[in-house]
């Protein structure tokens, strides 16, 4: 991302780049013609370093204000197509957690979370600052430990608590607690997502507006290719048939997008879509 702005009639460009120290983190670099700042961890540092070189002054600016992150209109424009946002939590003093993905809430594996859940925190471990990243995968949980950008250890197990027990660190806490899974705000957020997710019955299969609501949420939002415009016919035919038996191979093979839908990678989303539409699975 690049942002151009003017200060004292000179054009400055701020670019969001990967940090030189850690490619997993974002950095900011400010440029004015031939003058460039270093890649800094904060926009203010990059902007002020470049500005002070250009004008030979000690004047300082708010980086967030300059790049527009304090402007409500710009913020709304930037987040218009964003499906989800990270959840920032303070579990206890000096222990902050970031949940970047809530996962499949319909699996309800561990306290209403499921496959795709990702949570991380940084803390001092083995005399250095490390990043701990927890993933909930299809058949297991994995815990990755990073020093800078290098993964030093990867542990797997059936539950978040099982993988955390293998660390021999923060022994009095459980994995579900340390990674924010049981946190009140997370559980309330999951409840809100479930309440907002529509579910229908076969009586709704002739209602195009309701079908599109589920399709947009569970298929279109994941940018699955070849979602043909003929997909509503699938439900119309099911609704009109006399038999209560639905033969999937005979029907979904006729639709290009369903071939993609039921491939291994997207099978979870396709099944979820059909379940919420009222199809017995």
- CB–CB of 224/259 below 8 Å? no
**Which pTM does this prediction carry?**
0.59
Verify that 187 and 222 share a domain, yes or no: no
Please check whether residues 155 and 111 belong to one and the same domain. yes
Same domain, 166 and 201: no
Domain annotation covers residue 98: yes
Say whether both 74 and 108 belong to one domain: no
| Residue owning tokens 């913020």 | 75
Mean pLDDT of the 170-180 span: 95
Asked if the structure places residue 281 within a domain, the reply is no
Looking at the fold, whether 6 and 67 belong to one and the same domain comes out as yes
User: In this predicted model, what pLDDT tens digit does every residue of 203-225 receive, in sequence order?
Assistant: 766 777 776 766 666 555 455 55
Q: How far apart are CA 15 and CA 2, in angstroms?
A: 4
Task: Note whether residue 35 is domain-resident.
Answer: yes
Tell me how far apart the alpha carbons of residues 118 and 131 are, in angstroms, rounded to a whole number: 13
Residue 234 in any domain: the answer is yes
Cα–Cα distance, 134 to 121 (Å, whole number): 9
Residue 154's domain comprises 87-193
Query: Is the domain of 65 the same as that of 37?
Result: yes
Domain count, the chain: 3
**At which of 23, 51, 78 does a domain end?**
78
Q: By the 8 A CB rule, do 237 and 258 touch?
A: no
Residues 61 and 28 in one domain: yes
Q: Are residues 187 and 201 in the same domain?
A: no
3-state secondary structure of 44: helix
- Judge whether residue 249 has pLDDT over 60: no
Which two structure tokens, joined as six digits, stand for 56?
A: 């030979």
Same domain, 46 and 128: no
**How would residue 142 be classed by pLDDT, with cut points 50, 70 and 90?**
very high
Residue 121, in any domain of the structure = yes
- For 69-88, what is each residue's pLDDT tens digit? 888 888 888 777 666 678 99
Looking at 165, 193, 221, the residue that finishes a domain is 193
Do 109 and 163 lie in one domain? The reply is yes
Q: What is the CATH number of the domain that holds 96?
A: 3.30.160.360
Residue at which a domain ends, from 78, 99, 133? 78
98 plus 189 within the same structural domain: yes
């Amino acid at each position: 991302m690049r942002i151009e702005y003017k200060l004292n009639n000179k054009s400055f460009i701020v670019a969001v780049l990967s940090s030189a120290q850690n490619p997993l983190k974002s950095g900011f670099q400010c440029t004015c013609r031939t003058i460039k700042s270093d890649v800094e961890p904060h926009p203010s540092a990059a902007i002020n370093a470049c500005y002070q070189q250009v004008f030979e002054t000690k004047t300082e600016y708010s980086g967030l204000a300059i790049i527009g992150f304090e402007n409500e209109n710009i913020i709304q424009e930037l987040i218009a197509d964003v499906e989800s946002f990270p959840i920032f939590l303070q579990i206890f003093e000096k222990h902050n957690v970031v949940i970047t993905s809530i996962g499949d809430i319909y699996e309800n594996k561990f306290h209403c979370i499921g496959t795709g859940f990702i949570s991380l925190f940084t803390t001092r471990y083995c005399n250095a600052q490390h990043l701990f990243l927890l993933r909930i995968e299809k058949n297991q949980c994995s815990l990755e430990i990073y020093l800078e950008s290098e993964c030093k250890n990867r542990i797997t197990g059936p539950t978040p608590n099982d993988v955390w027990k293998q660390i021999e660190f923060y022994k009095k806490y459980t994995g579900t607690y340390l990674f924010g899974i049981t946190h009140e705000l997370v559980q309330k957020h999951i409840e809100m997502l479930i309440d907002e997710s529509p579910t229908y019955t076969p009586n709704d299969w002739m209602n195009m507006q309701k079908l599109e609501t589920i399709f947009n949420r569970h298929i279109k939002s994941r940018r699955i290719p070849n979602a043909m415009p003929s997909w509503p016919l699938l439900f119309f035919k099911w609704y009109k048939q006399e038999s209560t038996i639905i033969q999937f191979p005979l029907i979904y093979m006729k639709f290009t997008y369903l071939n993609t839908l039921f491939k291994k990678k997207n099978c979870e989303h396709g099944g979820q879509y059909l379940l919420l539409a009222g199809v017995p699975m």
